[in-house]
Amino acid sequence: MLDPVKLRVLRSVAATGSIRASAEALGYTPSAVSQQLSALRRETGVDLVERSGRGIEITPAGAEIARAAGTALDALDDVQRLAANLRDGRSGTLTFAYMTSVAATWVPRLAQDVREAFPDLSLTLLHRDCSVSELDLRGDVLIADDIDAEPGTDWQLCDLLEESYVALVPSSHPLASRESVALADLAEIPWATDDPLDSTWFARILSACHAAGFTPRVEVNPPDYSAVLGFIASGGFVSVQPSLLEQNPPPGVVVLPLRSPAPRRSLQVWVRRSSAKNPAVQFMVQRLWAIAAEHAERIPGITLLGEPPQYAAAPPRAPSGATAG
């Protein structure tokens, strides 16, 4: 394989028509440029330059090789830039996996922040279904709670917060006028939930209900949360959901704190170890912790866990006015 350094010298000589000018442009001495040209002539077996008066002149064969070398060297430069961008988190692809309870509040903000800071990054957003079959922990960064599978050696964890659960009741129901309710207050009312009834998510709620002395009467189990809200607003159903999920209830739905004893859960950010040093990943973790802190300040029943992540260097940000990639 021909040496790229020698090819760069040839391309410079072809462009300037002068060994001295090429030496100045490349930061070499004229003798070093001449040596590189001589070595390249031996490697190719082709006369690349010839004497012309006191200077040199590129030969037709040398000019043709210089043109071809230019295309190859530009491609090599592109590869080097790509490697540097991947190293610094400025390009490539990352996948962030999220759960329903942060889908409408955290994810849009995070995606916008990441795309502004890393406009060349391709960010894939992956919704994590709450069925057991989806516990395959895909992605580079994901939000998980304390009943997810063990992370193993492929992942490192950053604690975010612990949150309470809340009751969602129809605004027309007598319970809606209370400041809070106990789980037992919901025992005789039909329930609606989007959690699969055999999932570990619903098992947490079910266990708390059993401790309160009853089994919830789940009559509606749609696959999506918006349908749950519709059934509650109709006046005949209640639900128990994480407090992060419903802070701005639609008309017809009232959110009430659950009095203790009631279920709680903690959330973590899981980072794939192979991606942990990527500046874009570190930026995502920092932003997630900051967003969690904001929610802990304004939502009752949420407590921050651990300390904000610290990294040696701040992730690079795009220049002001950069558009999302």
Q: What pLDDT digit, counting tens, does each position of 239-275 carry?
A: 999 988 767 788 999 999 999 888 998 988 999 888 8
Q: Give me the pLDDT at residue 213, please.
A: 92
Q: What pLDDT digit, counting tens, does each position of 249-258 carry?
A: 889 999 999 9
Is the confidence at residue 185, as pLDDT, over 90? yes
Beta strands of the chain (E only): which ranges? Answer: 49-52, 55-58, 92-98, 121-127, 141-145, 155-170, 191-192, 218-220, 239-242, 253-257, 264-272, 302-304
The rounded distance, in Å, linking the Cα atoms of 94 and 51 is 55
pLDDT (mean) for 26-37: 86
| Domains, the chain | 4-88 (1.10.10.10), 92-309 (3.40.190.290)
Q: Is this structure's pTM higher than 0.75?
A: no
Q: Give me the pLDDT at residue 167, please.
A: 96
Q: What pLDDT digit, counting tens, does each position of 36-65 carry?
A: 888 988 988 888 888 877 778 888 888 888
**pLDDT tier, 85 (very low <50, low <70, confident <90, very high otherwise):** low
